[in-house]
Amino acid sequence: MRQIDHFISGGAGASATRFGDIMDPNNGGVQARVALGDAAVLERAVQAASAAQPAWAATNPQRRARVMFEFKRLVEANMDDLAHMLSSEHGKVIADSKGDIQRGLEVIEFCCGIPHVMKGEYSQGAGPGIDVYSMRQPIGIGAGITPFNFPGMIPLWMCGPAIATGNAFIIKPSERDPSVPVRLAELFIEAGLPEGICQVVHGDKEMVDAILDHPAIGAVSFVGSSDIAHYVYNRGVANGKRVQAMGGAKNHGIVMPDADLDQVVNDLAGAAFGSAGERCMALPVVVPVGEETAERLKAKLIPAIEALRVGVSTDAQAHYGPVVTAQHKAKVEGWIQTCVDEGGELIVDGRGFKLQGHEEGFFIGPTLFDHVTTDMESYKEEIFGPVLQIVRAANFEEALALPSKHQYGNGVAIFTRNGHAAREFAARVNVGMVGINVPIPVPVAYHSFGGWKRSAFGDTNQHGMEGVKFWTKVKTITQRWPDGSPDGGNAFVIPTMG
């Protein structure tokens, strides 16, 4: 059986004593196994990183950018293989896997301009004969703990800015679909990155804790559920690390009475059910404003949802594929039953879906609820599956309050033709990322990604200039070059620029 090993210092890591199963979500079978590491494995990676990082940091930014350019070319050349590898372990359809990788590559494109964004500030003549300037320097060694739902994009979001700014980087991917991060690390070496600068270690909580506790790792980036994000943030900060920890979401889509409902339904189909709903930027809650809007929207949603095609990840006609594991399938179906028990009106039931020839696959059909209320646990918590809930609002203010008061604050969207309503909503909603007639408002790579409330812990967002700031520290220099003649000043008084 195929085995996925650690990738340390340009090659496979130490022999493992523990392994995890990698499933094929399309047929329910075990397709490979992954080595599960511990603190000793991490120590090997840290030692390799410590040896390689000083020379990489001393490499001028333009040469580091050339590695990024070549890496981008290699990923594009290997896109088909990477996408099939990703789909085979995750279950998302091939087109979605390519989008996963392409979104990560857009951050790499931003990193190709690292010489420009690494420039510091300079003030000439800040005082008598005194100049002040600043420089950005790398943290040293960083680590990324990445989730199963974007095994291409999120490692690239993290490692691109970290490596481009002169750090060594250690990826701990999800043990459910670890092959793509390893292949990306291999392509980095092929692109000219020195061994030890990008490494991959596999593991479960034991490896996560080892990363959070290791004194040589200066910064940790995490994406996953909110409870674990909170744990990662607290433990990492307690150990003196810089930490950004992105958590869960319950994104709302507000539908105003003047919205183009045909476009809204098309957008909702992709945003709620694409990738089987396994996205932190999915849109699992739709909020029609007014009863008439709700009835018209539901009438259009039902046939659109019933027309969705669920298939294996290699089916080019499928809208989405299976969820990642049998355990996750059971969890999502449990939430569907919970919503029924809480009084939600089940309009389309995706439970019990079987795909002919793949009866053991982890498939869930699209599911639609109406008359969901804010006191339901199924509304409060993240379902992370192909389930869309309708929560009706009487007016704009009530619709605005729903995402603003929710425990999660990752993303939100409003659908309207009214510019004033859109502007008012964007300014007032208590959520980190807002889409206006855009159902999945993931910012472009030269902006930054990050939610509010229990969707994010830490003060710095992913990628863009926020990412550059996270992976670097600022050093400020105040300099004077005396001409040799004493100025009669008092050396015991704190210097001022007056």
State the total domains in the chain: 2
Whether residue 484 is predicted with pLDDT greater than 80 in this model: the reply is no
Mean pLDDT of 337-360: 97
In this structure, are residues 410 and 421 in contact, taking their beta carbons and an 8 Å threshold? no
In a domain, 490, yes or no: no
In a domain, 96, yes or no: yes
In this structure, are residues 471 and 139 in contact, taking their beta carbons and an 8 Å threshold? yes
Mean pLDDT of 316-336: 97
Whether residue 450 is predicted with pLDDT greater than 90 in this model: the reply is yes
Same domain, 179 and 231: yes
Same domain, 467 and 431: no
In a domain, 483, yes or no: no
Q: Where are the alpha helices (DSSP H) in 112-204?
A: 114-117, 153-164, 179-190
Same domain, 278 and 241: no
Same domain, 315 and 432: yes
Q: What is the pLDDT of residues 256-274, one digit of tens each?
A: 999 999 999 999 999 999 9
Determine the residue type at 127.
Answer: G
Q: Rounded to 5, what percent of the chain is helix, strand, coil? A: 40, 20, 40
The predicted structure's pLDDT at residue 492: 67
Same domain, 285 and 347: yes
Please list, in sequence order, all residues whose beta carbon lies within 8 angstroms of the beta carbon of residue 492, skipping any fewer than 6 positions away: none
Whether residue 387 is predicted with pLDDT greater than 90 in this model: the reply is yes
Whether residue 494 is predicted with pLDDT greater than 90 in this model: the reply is no
In a domain, 491, yes or no: no
Same domain, 344 and 218: no
Same domain, 187 and 272: no
Whether residue 411 is predicted with pLDDT greater than 60 in this model: the reply is yes
Q: For residue 381, what pLDDT band results from cuts at 50, 70 and 90?
A: very high
In a domain, 497, yes or no: no
Same domain, 261 and 218: no
Same domain, 102 and 211: yes
Whether residue 14 is predicted with pLDDT greater than 90 in this model: the reply is no
In a domain, 489, yes or no: no
Mean pLDDT of 115-119: 93
Same domain, 292 and 216: no
Q: What is the pLDDT of residues 194-204, one digit of tens each?
A: 999 999 999 99
Catalytic residues: 280
Mean pLDDT of 59-63: 97
Whether residue 17 is predicted with pLDDT greater than 80 in this model: the reply is yes
Q: Where are the beta strands (DSSP E) in 248-363?
A: 252-255, 285-288, 345-348
Which of 466-481 are b and which e, b meaning 16 or more Cβ less than 10 Å from the residue's Cβ?
bbbbbbbeeeeeeeee
The predicted structure's pLDDT at residue 156: 98
Q: Tell me which residue range forms the domain holding 125.
A: 2-247+455-477
Mean pLDDT of 109-118: 96
The predicted structure's pLDDT at residue 491: 63
Mean pLDDT of 100-121: 96
In a domain, 482, yes or no: no
Same domain, 209 and 276: no
Rounded-to-integer distance, Cα 202 and Cα 304, Å = 40
Closest C-alpha among 209, 161, 159, 166 to residue 181: 159
Q: Given 380, 408, 436, which residue is the final one in a domain?
A: 436
Mean pLDDT over the full length of the chain: 95
Domain at 187, CATH number: 3.40.605.10
| Sign of the torsion angle spanned by Cα atoms 36, 38, 44, 46 | positive
Q: What percent of the chain has pLDDT over 70?
A: 97
Mean pLDDT of 55-60: 98
Whether residue 488 is predicted with pLDDT greater than 60 in this model: the reply is no
In a domain, 449, yes or no: no
Of the ranges 171-175, 267-271, 490-494, which one carries the lowest mean pLDDT score?
490-494
Whether residue 485 is predicted with pLDDT greater than 70 in this model: the reply is no
Q: What is the pLDDT of residues 197-229, one digit of tens each?
A: 999 999 999 999 999 999 999 999 999 999 999
Domain at 380, CATH number: 3.40.309.10
Mean pLDDT of 312-328: 97
Same domain, 137 and 260: no
